């Protein structure tokens, strides 16, 4: 558990510094640790909430969050996240879907992201809302916030400037994680939640500390492209292992 808590701390610190929650990496780490798939989304989503709450507040206080656009996306995604959390799924199906989402995360992280400047949105920016619903559903089902997919998409479509995109992704992750967590609680009941908390409490404490450090100080222990590549390598490796049934 000590190595897992240390890995969760580092993940939260790095992700919070750029407005993400780290749900995909929490999932990868929990899968490596052989965690019961039934409590895995509960732990990952709870950690997401703890981490991105601070980032969302920081962006809001700084006046960076584009509320109209961000709330429109989250309003579309949140009901889908609740539905995803409520959806019954067997262990094999869950692990296959988690593996596929991790592989997709890794590939997404390898997409070069340009520093989007403020200005007129791109022509394709109007298509962004169509991605909100599937991302929300995936978030609730397997325990990710969806921001790791949303942010590169917003950059590619020149939806807003880079800081506004980071703020939007942070809020998107927070709301999706809350709704997905609610769905998971309704599906699994209080006993499963108690089991998840008993197992995941040290991890929640680790991400609370790491997330605050990353959010308040914007610490960069490695160049951002190194972080992206290392995260991509981890998620691709774990995702492929899950898909191949190893």
Ramachandran angles phi, psi of 223, nearest 5°? -55, 145
Residue 221 burial (C-beta neighbours within 10 Å; 0-12, 13-18, 19+): exposed
Per-residue pLDDT of the chain (246 residues; tens, 9 = 90+): 789 999 999 989 888 877 788 888 898 899 889 899 889 999 999 999 999 998 888 889 889 899 999 999 999 999 999 999 999 989 888 889 888 988 888 888 787 766 555 555 555 667 788 889 998 998 899 888 888 888 888 877 878 887 888 889 899 999 999 999 999 999 988 889 889 989 999 999 999 999 888 877 654 555 666 766 777 787 888 888 888 875
Q: Judge whether 167 and 150 are in contact, CB under 8 Å.
A: no
Instruction: Give the range of the structural domain holding residue 201, as residue numbers without chain letter.
Output: 2-244
Report the SS3 class of residue 19: coil
Helix (H, G, I), strand (E, B) or coil at 85: helix
Write down the residue that tokens 């950690």 correspond to. Answer: 47
Predicted structure pTM score: 0.85
- What's the structural domain count of the chain? 1
């Amino acid at each position: 558990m000590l190595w897992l808590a240390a890995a969760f701390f580092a993940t939260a610190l790095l992700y919070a510094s750029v407005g993400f929650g780290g749900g995909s990496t929490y999932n990868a780490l929990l899968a490596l640790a052989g965690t019961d798939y039934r409590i895995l989304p509960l732990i990952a989503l709870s950690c997401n909430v703890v981490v991105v709450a601070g980032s969302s507040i920081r962006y809001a206080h700084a006046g960076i969050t584009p509320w109209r656009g961000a709330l429109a996306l989250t309003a579309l995604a949140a009901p889908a996240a609740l539905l995803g959390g409520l959806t019954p799924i067997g262990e094999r199906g869950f692990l296959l879907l988690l593996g596929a989402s991790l592989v997709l995360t890794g590939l997404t992280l390898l997409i070069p992201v340009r520093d989007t400047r403020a200005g007129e949105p791109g022509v394709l920016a109007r298509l962004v809302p169509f991605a909100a619903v599937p991302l929300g559903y995936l978030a609730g089902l397997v325990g990710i916030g969806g921001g790791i997919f949303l942010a590169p998409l917003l950059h590619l479509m020149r939806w807003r400037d880079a800081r506004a995109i980071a703020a939007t992704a942070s809020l998107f992750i927070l709301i999706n994680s809350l709704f997905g967590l609610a769905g998971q609680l309704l599906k699994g009941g209080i006993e499963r939640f108690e089991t998840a908390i008993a197992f995941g409490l040290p991890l929640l404490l680790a991400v609370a500390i790491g997330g605050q450090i990353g959010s308040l100080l914007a610490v960069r222990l490695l160049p951002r492209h190194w972080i992206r590549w290392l995260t991509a390598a981890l998620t691709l490796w774990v995702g492929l292992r899950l898909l191949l049934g190893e």
